Structure 1
Amino acid sequence: MERRMVTTVTDCPGRIVPVGTPITIPKDNFVTITQALGGNYTVTYNGNMVRVDGTDAAALGLEPEVLEFEQPDGDDILEEQVWDALRTVFDPEIPVDLVNLGLIYKVEIEQADKSVYIEMTLTAPGCGMGPVLVGDVEYRVAQVPNVKTVQVELVFDPPWSREMMSEEAQLETGMFY
């Protein structure tokens, strides 16, 4: 999506990037959508970058994006669908998903209790968006058929570095060596 200006149709909750401070953009205010990926939005408002959750798309006058998966045969959780869900979570500042950024370290599926455990990191340990991104991961993976619980743990060992990014992500961000 190219940058475009919209007017909020209701009060719109968001979080200031990168500190994660909650903010409410009042109704009838102009915002510029700078990123619309994975169903979430990054907008600029009063000089701040603000992340708006896709569940609040209507406040921007937009239709929420619905994550849909094909129901598998049987009741197993399909690992491919978990990874597909993770690829729908994007960094609010960088137009790259968490998988291609190299932020997902581990995915473990326990078929017996229908749970998914994920270890992930952040591009910077002090990033205030960490809880927001963890919440996005939990929400998106919970949409995968047969998943009952999702546990996400933020880890910082090993520390993230740009070498962990996919080549595609490095090219997208201009960080290719």
Structure 2
Amino acid sequence: MTEVSPQIEGTPLIAPSSTDHPLYDAVVEACRTVYDPEIPVNIYDLGLVYTVDINPANEVKVIMTLTAPGCPVAGEMPGWVADAVGPLDGVSNVEVELTWEPAWGMDMMSDEARLELGFM
């Protein structure tokens, strides 16, 4: 029998983003310049960016996933995100973390992405 670790009730699977931070919109726009090479939609609208956490020292932590664990650019895409966010005026540091929980699904895409890919 496999033991399942308990989840604290009410704890979200995806950590909340710092949407009220002044740099948030610029970081999101920077993430929108990064594309999965196999899909003609940016990673933000694909729903691959789960959390944009920005602390008071303007250190940015992006928690993201990929469409599949075997994604051929798995080793490169976090660097692409860091390269897009790092040069933003005011950003002091960027950390990009890959996660597989929760698993990405097509329901995480924005309406724009669904339209672009012909799912609407």
Q: Secondary structure at the match of 2:66?
A: coil
Corresponding residue for residue 19 of structure 1: none
Match of 1:165 among 109, 112, 120: 109
Question: Normalising by structure 1, what TM-score?
Answer: 0.54
Which amino acid is 2:47 matched to? Answer: G
Match of 1:110 among 34, 38, 55: 55
For residues 104 and 137 of structure 1, the distance between their equivalents in structure 2, rounded to whole angstroms, comes to 10
User: Number of aligned pairs?
Assistant: 100
Question: Normalising by structure 2, what TM-score?
Answer: 0.78
* CA-to-aligned-CA distance 1:15-53 (integer Å, 9 cap, x gap): xxxxxxxxxxxxxxxxxxxxxxxxxxxxxxxxxxxxxxx
- State the 1:155 CA deviation: 0.3
Which amino acid is 2:109 matched to? Answer: M
For residues 110 and 137 of structure 1, the distance between their equivalents in structure 2, rounded to whole angstroms, comes to 18
Match of 2:99 among 147, 155, 162: 155
For residues 128 and 92 of structure 1, the distance between their equivalents in structure 2, rounded to whole angstroms, comes to 9
Q: Which runs of 5+ in 1 are unaligned?
A: 1-75
- State the 1:77 CA deviation: 5.5
Cα distance change, pair 111–77 in 1 and its aligned pair in 2 (3 A): farther
Which amino acid is 1:103 matched to? Answer: L
For residues 40 and 72 of structure 2, the distance between their equivalents in structure 1, rounded to whole angstroms, comes to 18
CA RMSD for the aligned pairs? 1.4
Match of 1:90 among 26, 29, 35: 35
Give the number of the structure whose alpha-carbon radius of gyration is greater: 1
Q: Which runs of 5+ in 2 are unaligned?
A: 1-20
Structural mapping, 1:114-125, within 5 Å:
114-125=58-69
For residues 61 and 43 of structure 2, the distance between their equivalents in structure 1, rounded to whole angstroms, comes to 16
Cα distance change, pair 142–85 in 1 and its aligned pair in 2 (3 A): same
* CA-to-aligned-CA distance 1:80-114 (integer Å, 9 cap, x gap): 111110111011011100010000000100122x3
Structural mapping, 1:70-89, within 5 Å:
78-89=23-34
